């Protein structure tokens, strides 16, 4: 590390995002809390934390906006990092914060939320970040040429390889929507032992710590690339509307091999890069995932992880890798090393701070020489 890099101070971050999953305390702390906030603090950044959903719920929207604006003006922060996807913060407040310090919002799910949300709010920040490459020209069309193409990653301070014996053959952690139920049932009917965790499964939601244990205790970790929501489509009429109603009453229409088909009038659900694509190799866990656009920008199938496309290939890949421990471990090791070298949130956030012209040490220097954890102050009335 050069002397200049060693002397570069870490910025003080005004951090604005929900602390709890979907703003619900009962669901536990959110993805952004465990990954975005925790990475900033573990890097050594002092954080002024605005828990937007909780402040709105407990004290009202007007109070939230006043507190945020005051924090931006008097909190001594160097940059503002937002991950909001609702309207709890007013445009006037976001403009006022942007006038006080450089800001960036990490827009999630631009694959299906660009038109209805991101396009209407992006101009209120100094920079915007998106994980969707196809959204970049859309932002440019709005005059937002400083848009940053970013991506999900892994928090290397939290996700780690554990020295624990394998307990499960195949696991999946996530919600049961789309064709996930059918694909997993297809494996189980074929004699494969599969355990599923998360809202909607009998095992229920697991803690962050338990999730990491499951990753490391699993011979094969499944990842599905389909987005949770699909874009809005015109209201169906006639036969299409009847099929929709039948599907709602009787369950999804069935396709070949017993796998649920999509209603003919609706577009296929989009596939996208997910945080799980980085969290699993970040723990040194073997990943079997659906292919999707942009995957090749981050990992190589067969080298860093394994791929399947459809129920038959899913079954054959599971059988192949359950039967070859050495191959499975070699791929998991390669994915782990590659992920930590290129795809941590330290890398992502240093890039975003650079886009805001905020000085910050190089990501690899921070990772090589951990600093004391930064302080955190929760903004309160």
Domains parsed from the chain with CATH numbers: 11-153+344-378 (3.40.50.2300), 168-231+267-339 (3.40.50.2000)
CA dist., res. 117 & res. 232, Å (int): 13
Percentage of residues in the chain having pLDDT higher than 90: 79
Q: Please tell me the least confidently modeled range out of 19-33, 143-157, 258-272, 317-331.
A: 258-272
> Which pLDDT score, from 0 to 100, does residue 284 have?
98
Q: In the predicted model, is pLDDT for residue 237 greater than 70?
A: no
> Which pLDDT score, from 0 to 100, does residue 2 have?
44
Q: In the predicted model, is pLDDT for residue 139 greater than 80?
A: yes
- Banded model confidence at residue 268, pLDDT cuts 50, 70, 90: low
- Banded model confidence at residue 267, pLDDT cuts 50, 70, 90: low
Taking a C-beta distance cutoff of 8 angstroms, is the pair 340, 282 a contact? yes
Report the sign of the C-alpha dihedral through residues 85, 361, 67, 93, in that order.
Answer: negative
Structure tokens, 338: 């590659």
Q: In the predicted model, is pLDDT for residue 371 greater than 50?
A: yes
CA dist., res. 294 & res. 181, Å (int): 25
> Which pLDDT score, from 0 to 100, does residue 178 have?
84
Q: What is the mean pLDDT of residues 290-317?
A: 94
CA dist., res. 237 & res. 145, Å (int): 40
Q: What is the mean pLDDT of residues 75-81?
A: 98
- Banded model confidence at residue 265, pLDDT cuts 50, 70, 90: very low
Which residue do the tokens 């959204």 mark?
A: 135
Q: In the predicted model, is pLDDT for residue 297 greater than 60?
A: yes
Q: In the predicted model, is pLDDT for residue 306 greater than 80?
A: yes
> Which pLDDT score, from 0 to 100, does residue 94 have?
98
- Banded model confidence at residue 232, pLDDT cuts 50, 70, 90: very low
Of 346, 273, 350, residue with least CA distance to 38:
346
CA dist., res. 48 & res. 77, Å (int): 8
Q: In the predicted model, is pLDDT for residue 73 greater than 60?
A: yes
Q: What is the mean pLDDT of residues 354-364?
A: 95
Mean per-residue pLDDT of the chain: 89
CA dist., res. 150 & res. 348, Å (int): 7
**φ/ψ (deg, to 5) at 136:** -55, -50
- Banded model confidence at residue 226, pLDDT cuts 50, 70, 90: confident
- Banded model confidence at residue 270, pLDDT cuts 50, 70, 90: low
| Distance between first and last Cα of the chain | 42
> Which pLDDT score, from 0 to 100, does residue 242 have?
47
Q: In the predicted model, is pLDDT for residue 183 greater than 80?
A: yes
């Amino acid at each position: 590390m050069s002397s200049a890099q060693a002397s570069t101070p870490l910025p003080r971050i005004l951090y604005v995002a929900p602390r709890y999953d979907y703003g619900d305390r009962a669901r536990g702390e959110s993805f952004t809390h465990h990954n975005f906030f925790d990475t900033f603090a573990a890097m050594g950044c002092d954080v002024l934390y605005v828990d937007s959903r909780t402040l709105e719920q407990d004290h009202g929207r007007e109070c939230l906006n006043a507190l945020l604006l005051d924090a931006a003006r008097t909190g001594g922060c160097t940059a503002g990092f937002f991950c909001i996807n609702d309207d709890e913060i007013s445009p006037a407040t976001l403009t006022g914060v942007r006038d006080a310090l450089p800001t960036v919002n990490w827009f999630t799910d631009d694959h299906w939320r660009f038109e209805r949300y991101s396009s209407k709010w992006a101009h209120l920040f100094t920079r915007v970040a998106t994980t969707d490459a196809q959204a970049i020209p859309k932002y440019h069309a709005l005059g937002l040429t400083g848009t940053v193409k970013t991506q999900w990653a892994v928090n290397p301070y939290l996700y780690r390889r554990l020295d624990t014996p394998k307990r499960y053959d195949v696991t999946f952690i996530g919600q049961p929507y789309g064709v996930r139920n059918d694909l997993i049932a297809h494996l189980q009917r074929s004699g494969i032992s599969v355990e599923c965790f998360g809202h909607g499964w009998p095992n229920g939601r697991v803690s962050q710590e338990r999730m990491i244990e499951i990753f490391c205790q699993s011979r094969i970790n499944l990842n599905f690339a389909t987005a949770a929501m699909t874009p809005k489509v015109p209201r169906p009429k006639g036969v299409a509307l009847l099929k929709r109603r039948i599907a709602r009453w009787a369950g999804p229409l069935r396709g070949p091999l017993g796998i649920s088909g999509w209603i003919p009038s609706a577009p296929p659900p989009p596939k996208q890069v997910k945080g799980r694509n980085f969290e699993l190799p970040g723990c040194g866990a073997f990943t079997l995932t659906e292919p999707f656009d942009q995957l090749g920008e981050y990992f190589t199938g067969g080298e860093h992880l394994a791929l399947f496309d459809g129920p038959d290939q899913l079954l054959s890949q599971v059988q192949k890798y359950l039967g070859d421990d050495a191959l499975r471990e070699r791929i998991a090791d390669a994915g782990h090393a590659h992920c930590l070298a290129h795809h941590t949130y330290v890398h992502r956030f240093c890039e975003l701070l650079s886009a805001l012209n905020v000085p910050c040490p190089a990501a690899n220097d921070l990772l090589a020489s951990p600093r004391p954890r930064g302080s955190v102050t929760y903004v309160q009335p």
